[in-house]
Structures are given as structure tokens and as C-alpha cells.
Structure 1
């Protein structure tokens, strides 16, 4: 006699909808992942006197818009995945075991939720950019930037997961997003850096991500006139992905010792 078994679902659309609504009602999420990148773009990319000046294959507004969209994506991915990891470690995993949803399904639901908010943050900045004069020479550059930002931005989901697992506190989401702001200031994201500060910036996690996101506009040319080789940008990304993966591994080991 063969007993039929049903595999746990890999994704819960109901949970995905509930999570999205819950985050939309969270003022912290709205302020840091949606409002802050738009406001910073308006301050530095739309109202500045140099906004319409040429920059690579577009104008300065487009350059700043890319930076703020990348920053918003990094904050959304890191903060929401860190929150998911902290929830799982604080007893939500036992509640999850009482439902048909698998652990993989829970993780996928959370990841899609974070990716959705990252896309929403990018769309908010892009729409604001369109309305305020951000321009590129060819339309495909908009789509190339969006694809690079969302695709490469997944690396910060690893970072958020590692922070949530390692620190296991309610404040892990705040820690992840605040650290992204710190990395942005020292990563040539908010303001052009030069000299020693630029050399330091090249070692930070947001530098390679944002530099690659700007590539369809700048082809690697910086505001200082220097040029970043593509291989150096990719090495930065690969190294930090490895560091974030190690943080996740360390967080998993630490969370097991706490049990």
C-alpha cells in the first residue's frame, strides 16, 4: 500500500500579500526604503544648479538618480532580510513548523518581499527622475541600470540575513539600514570622493555595486576624471559577496550555539 504525501508548498501568496501590507504600514520601512532615496535625489540631483549638465551618456540628474536607486535597493534588501532572520530566530520558526509552509518557502516569501520593496524603491526614484529631467542618451540605458541594480542588489540580501542571524535582535533591521548609510557616505555614493578617500571607498561594499550600476551611463569614468576598470568593480562585488556569505555562516553557527 502506497501512502501519498504532499510536499510543503515552496511559496505562500497569502503570506507574501500579508507581509507586503505589513511593511507598507511600517513607517520605518516607508521612510528609509522609499522616502529617503527620493528626498536625497531631489536634494542632490533635481534641484542642484548642475543637474542638467552632461555626465557620460546622460546628465547629472541621471547620475544622482542611479546612486539613490542603488542605495534604496541596498537598504530595502538588507533591512527586510535581516528582519526576517531575526524573526526566524526568535520563535517564528516554531510557529512556522505548525503550518504547511516549508522553511524554504518562508525564506523565498521573505526574499521576494524584500525584492519587491527594492523594486518599489527603484521605481519611486526613477519616476521622480523622469518628472524632474533625468535623461540618458538612449532608452535602453534606463533598463540596463534597473536590471543591474535589482540583480546585483541581491547581494545585500545576504548581508541582511547575516546581520539578522548574527545579532538576533529586534534592532537588526535598523542596524543593517544604518550601516548601509555609513557605507554609502564612505563608498562614493552620496558625494564624489577623491584622493585617499576615493582609495578607501574602493574597498567598501557599496562601491562596486554602485559603480556597476552607473556603468551604462559612465562606462566606468568617475567625476574626478579617473576610470575604474570593469574587472576591479567585479572583484569588489565578488569579494563582498564572499564576506557576506561568511557572515551568514557565522550567524548560523552562533544561532545554533544559543539554542
Structure 2
């Protein structure tokens, strides 16, 4: 991995203030509205309170949005000729991919850190294990959507694909029980959508699987959801990458 390449790429991304606002600042803004200022924020839920539940949810959303955006842009760079330029340098493909993965995870860590810091300052409460494990799961789990961003970027091969990938995350968030508590048939459908398993797994150290409608998800359910969607995204991304090479 080339440290200079990683640092330059991080500097380039963080200079884009509008993108950083939506990936880093916006999730904390959502937490303030839906978690830190609501009357029920101190109500008990699992191993913590409602404020912590919303905090984890918004941190996970921000991490996914950041990872998707960075990886989608990286895929577009490759298919639009940046890959050929890099081919003239000593930087290997494996080093490029590892560098982009590190950049994606670093950017994804920003909304997690900001939202958790704000949670500490505004009354989010939970057990020490819930704090540590939920943050770790939110960050590591977002790597699934780095693969998703790569998939969309290589499939559509245009600058608009990065925006489409990020925009689709908003739809997945609504369908995945992140923004509005679902119930009945909608909740049953949500359990098959990409963001449901990831968000449920991030919240598991707090909720232990209990949902707002009184039902409970066994641990295998969010794990299975994450594994299946990782395989689906990975297989499709591999297909589109190979198809792109054949066209070149």
C-alpha cells in the first residue's frame, strides 16, 4: 500500500465540503433531531436508552453512505481512464484497491466518531460493551456497502452512478427499518433488504434483537442477511469488473 497515495486521496475527498457534509455531518444532524431532542430519549431500551438506539442507527447510516460514495467514485475513476494512468506507475492493482479500501473505511469512521461523540454529550446511555461493539459493527459492517458502491460504479460507468449509489442508500434505509419503525408486512419485507441486517447487527449489543413491535430477531437473522447480501454484491461487482475489462 502506498501511504502517499492514500494521504493524497483522503485530502482530495475531505476538500469536497458538500460531500463531507452529507456523509459526516448530516447523520449527526439526524441524531440531534430524532434522538437528542425527543422527550423519550432517556427511556430504557435493552442495554441502554432511546438516544443510544438512534445514535447507533444514524452512525451506521453515515458509515454506509460514506463507504458507498467513496467506493463508487473509485470505480468510476477506474473505468474512465484513471486505471490506465495508474498502469504507467509502479502502483499495483492490489495496492490501489487496498488504498481505496483504507480511504473508504477512514471516511466511514468520521460519521461514527462524530455521532458517538455527540451521543456522549447529549445523554445517550448504554453498557460499555454496547458502546464498543456497536461502534465496531457499524464501522466494519459498512465495508459491505463499499462493495455495493463498487458494483454500481462498475455497472453504470458514469459520474452519475456515484450519486445514484448514494441516493439508493436513502431508499434502503427507509426499507431497512432505520428511519421509521416498521411493523406487520412491511417489517417482514424489510428483513430481506440490504440495510436491515447491517443496522440490526450494529444495534444488537444494545437491543439484543428486540424490536419496537415487541418481536425479537434471533442473532442468526441479521448475520445471514449481511452474509447473503455481501455474496450478492461481491458476485455482481466481480461480473461487472470482468465485463469492463473485456470491453477494453
TM-score (ref. length: structure 2): 0.97
Q: What is the root-mean-square deviation in Å for CA atoms of aligned residues?
A: 1.1
Aligned to 2:163: 174
Residue 231 of structure 1 and its aligned partner are, at CA, apart by 1.2
- 1:120-175 Cα offsets, whole Å, 9 max, x none, are 11001101111111110x22221111111112221111111111111111122211
Residue 257 of structure 1 and its aligned partner are, at CA, apart by 4.3
- 1:2-29 Cα offsets, whole Å, 9 max, x none, are xxxxxxxxx1111111111111111232
Structure 1 Cα separation of the partners of residues 13 and 2 of structure 2: 17
Larger gyration radius, structure 1 or structure 2: 1
1:115 pairs with 2:117:
no
Aligned to 1:245: 234
CA contact (8 A) 1:158 1:244 kept: yes
Out of 55, 71, 77, which is 2:61 matched to? Answer: 71
Aligned to 2:153: 164
CA contact (8 A) 1:77 1:118 kept: yes
Aligned to 1:3: none
SS at match of 2:119: helix
Higher helix proportion (structure 1 or 2): 2
Out of 31, 35, 41, which is 2:31 matched to? Answer: 41
Out of 80, 90, 93, which is 2:80 matched to? Answer: 90
- Rate the CA distance shift 1:101–1:253 in 2: closer, same or farther, 3 A: closer
Show structure 1 runs of 5+ residues with no match: 1-10
Show structure 2 runs of 5+ residues with no match: none
Q: How many residues align?
A: 248
Aligned to 2:129: 140
- 1:224-247 Cα offsets, whole Å, 9 max, x none, are 110001111111111111110122
TM-score (ref. length: structure 1): 0.93
Return structure 1 stretches of 4+ with deviation > 3 angstroms: none
